[in-house]
Structure 1
Amino acid sequence: MTVGARRGLYRASAILITVGLAAFVVLLVGVLTHTGFQRLDTPVEHWFDDLRSRDVTSFMIVIALVFGPVGMPIIVVIVTVVWLLAATHAWRPLVLAVGMATGVILAQVIAPLVKHPRPPIGLMLAGPDHSYSFPSGHVLGASDFFVILAFLLASRKQNRGFTIGAFTVAVLMILLQVFSRLYLGYHYISDTTASMSLSAVILGVVVAIDTRRTARISGESVRGADSQLQRDGT
Structure 2
Amino acid sequence: MAQKPVDNSPGKWRVFHDKFVVEERYMSGQDRKNVYRIAVGLAVVGAVLFFSLLASVLQQGGLTAGDEPVRAWLLTLRSEPLTLIMIFLAIVFGPVALPIIVLVVTVAWGLLAKHAWRPMLLAGAMLTGVIVSQIIGRIIDRHRPPVDLMLFGADFTFSFPSGHVLGACDFLLVGTFLVVSRRRSRRAVVAGFLLAGVGIFLAAVSRLYLGYHWLTDAFASLSLSFVILGGVIALDTWRTARIRGEQVTGELSKADTSQD
Q: Answer yes or no: same fold by TM over 0.5.
A: yes
More helix by share: 1
Partner of 2:66: 40
Q: Deviations over 1:58-77 (max 9, x none)?
A: 01001101110000000000
What is the identity, as a one-letter code, of the residue corresponding to 1:210?
Answer: D
In 1, the alpha carbon distance for the partners of 2:149 and 2:166 equals 22
In 1, the alpha carbon distance for the partners of 2:251 and 2:137 equals 49
Partner of 2:117: 91
In 2, the alpha carbon distance for the partners of 1:97 and 1:58 equals 30
Query: Scaled by the length of structure 1, what TM-score is found?
Result: 0.93
For 2:248, what is the secondary structure of its paired residue? helix
Partner of 1:228: none
Aligned residues: 225
The runs of 4+ residues in structure 1 deviating greater than 6 Å are 222-225
Partner of 2:220: 194
User: What does 1:1-234 correspond to in 2, within 5 Å?
Assistant: 1-215=27-241, 219-221=246-248
Please give the root-mean-square deviation of Cα atoms over the aligned residues, in Å: 1.7
Structure 1 window deviating more from structure 2 (215-224 vs 144-153): it is 215-224
Query: Scaled by the length of structure 2, what TM-score is found?
Result: 0.84
In 2, the alpha carbon distance for the partners of 1:224 and 1:26 equals 44
Q: Which runs of 5+ in 1 are unaligned?
A: 226-234
What is the identity, as a one-letter code, of the residue corresponding to 2:178?
Answer: L
Structure 1 window deviating more from structure 2 (20-29 vs 210-219): it is 210-219
What is the identity, as a one-letter code, of the residue corresponding to 2:103?
Answer: V
TM-aligned CA distance change 1:217 to 1:76, over 3 Å:
farther
Partner of 1:232: none
In the TM superposition, what is the alpha-carbon distance from 1:112 to its structure 2 partner?
Answer: 1.1
In 1, the alpha carbon distance for the partners of 2:172 and 2:77 equals 26
For 2:213, what is the secondary structure of its paired residue? coil
What is the identity, as a one-letter code, of the residue corresponding to 1:184?
Answer: L
In 2, the alpha carbon distance for the partners of 1:19 and 1:129 equals 31
Give me the identity figure in percent. 48
For 1:166, what is the secondary structure of its paired residue? helix
In 2, the alpha carbon distance for the partners of 1:22 and 1:97 equals 25
TM-aligned CA distance change 1:176 to 1:223, over 3 Å:
closer
In the TM superposition, what is the alpha-carbon distance from 1:220 to its structure 2 partner?
Answer: 3.2
In the TM superposition, what is the alpha-carbon distance from 1:107 to its structure 2 partner?
Answer: 0.8
In the TM superposition, what is the alpha-carbon distance from 1:135 to its structure 2 partner?
Answer: 0.1
In the TM superposition, what is the alpha-carbon distance from 1:115 to its structure 2 partner?
Answer: 1.0
For 1:125, what is the secondary structure of its paired residue? coil
In 2, the alpha carbon distance for the partners of 1:223 and 1:101 equals 27
Instruction: Confirm or deny: 8 A CA contact 2:29 2:243 kept in the other structure.
Output: no
